[in-house]
Amino acid sequence: MREGSFELPVDGGAIRGDRGGAGRPALLLHGGAAIPDYLGECAEELDGLFSTIRYTQRGTPPSEAPGPYTIESHMADAIAVLDSLGLERAWAIGHSWGGHLALHLAVAHPERIAGALCISPLGADPSVFDDFDQSLGRTLTPAQLDRIREIDELRRAGEVEEADLVERFALIWVPFFARPEDATPPPARVGVQASIQTNRSIAEHFERGTLARRLRGVGAPVLFVHGEDDPLPPRSSTETAALIPGALVETIQDCGHFPWIEQPAAFRAAVESLLDRIRA
């Protein structure tokens, strides 16, 4: 698949990304939050089904744009990317936190979102973080878990440094994979203020119940693909899908948090199946 880069100027910086492939236009929204885009292989697996537009979200190199870093500002960037490329509507395809962002776009900007595909997403219920913590407890040492909690506290207090956040991702990265040998390198950069502020914004929206209240009104097709062995549990998809009229879910066996890496053929087949079901 051939891609071309693009740059969207914003106040004080720019959003930078890549565009390519053939099919329905779609925004690819990476997880993290506040790490560089890693969805190149995902875009390749979706080629022919979707033409993809992927970019690093504001506040992390190479998208060195200033705050605020909130769900609202991330949604505004997504819409601005569509505008800059002359697209009236597109699918929102998000992984992990990016799936959460895709759901917010479907709620807040239904006129711009043709559909949403959420891949191993953070859904509408924050209690899945408890399941995630329990899963980590089965694979990491007590000292590693204590260090993750310490970094989380520093982030909540706004006192964390990039080295701390890079360390946190390094600790949790391999457990995201069903087979450790499939693990990709963890992120080497994290946007500190983007991480602090975006996670605060996520927490604030959970407290307000934004998605839990408003997903019932989504009219566009919403599809979920989730790895059966993902430490962010499959119920994050199935319980969120239950809130959305007509939403569909496919789970992939022997798969963790990154389906297009761990089970690429099954991932492509699951997306094709879901698209066939909504056409039917």
Lookup result for tokens 């899908």: 241
Tell me the percentage of the chain whose pLDDT exceeds 90.
Answer: 97
Tally the domains of the chain. Answer: 2
Q: Which token pair is 4?
A: 């071309």
> Is residue 189 a part of any domain in this protein?
no
pLDDT, tens digit, 9 for 90 and up, residues 42-62? 999 999 999 999 999 999 999
Residue 188 placed within a domain? no
**What is the side-by-side strand order in the sheet with 113-119?**
3-10, 13-20, 50-55, 24-29, 90-95, 113-119, 222-227, 248-252
Domain shared by 235 and 157, yes or no = no
46 in the same domain as 28: yes
Residues 146 and 243 in one domain: no
Q: With CA atoms as reference, report the closest residue to 29 among 108, 107, 87, 116.
A: 116
Q: Are both 87 and 161 inside the same structural domain?
A: no
Largest Cα–Cα separation, the chain: 51
Q: Please check the confidence at residue 26 and state whether its pLDDT lies above 90.
A: yes
Same domain, 104 and 142: no
Same domain (yes/no): 122, 235? yes
Q: Is position 154 within any domain?
A: yes
Residue 192 maps to a domain: no
- Check whether residue 120 and residue 142 sit in a common domain: no
Same structural domain for residues 116 and 148?
no
pLDDT tens profile 222-245: 999 999 999 999 999 999 999 999
Q: Which SS3 state, helix, strand or coil, does residue 141 take?
A: coil
Structural domain span for residue 253: 3-126+198-279
Q: Are residues 29 and 61 in the same domain?
A: yes
**Cα→Cα distances 248→7, 12, 51, 215, 274, Å:** 34, 40, 22, 14, 7
**249 located within any domain:** yes
Q: Is 19 helix (H, G, I), strand (E, B) or coil?
A: strand
Q: The domain that contains 238 carries what CATH number?
A: 3.40.50.1820
State the pLDDT at residue 75: 98
- 39 and 157 fall within a common domain: no
Phi and psi torsions of 93, nearest 5°: -115, 115
Q: Are 33 and 57 in contact (CB under 8 A)?
A: yes
- Asked if residue 121 is part of any domain, the answer here is yes
Backbone angles phi, psi at 61, to 5 degrees: -55, 135
pTM of the model as a whole: 0.97
Distance of alpha carbon 233 from alpha carbon 217, whole angstroms? 25
Mean pLDDT computed over 140-166? 97
Q: Write out pLDDT tens, residues 164-194.
A: 999 999 999 999 999 999 999 999 999 999 9
Residues 167 and 246 in one domain: no
Let me know: does 94 contact 121? Beta carbons within 8 Å. yes
Q: Which residues make Cβ contacts (< 8 Å) with residue 130, sequence separation at least 6? A: none
Give, as one character, the DSSP assignment of residue 176: G
Residue 168 host element (H or E): helix 162-173
Q: Is residue 24 part of a domain?
A: yes
Residue 208, number of CB atoms within 10 A of its CB:
10
Q: Are 84 and 112 contained in the same domain?
A: yes
Query: Which residues have CB under 8 Å from 211's CB, separation 6+?
Result: 100, 103, 104, 107, 123, 124, 205, 240, 243
Does residue 54 sit within a domain? yes
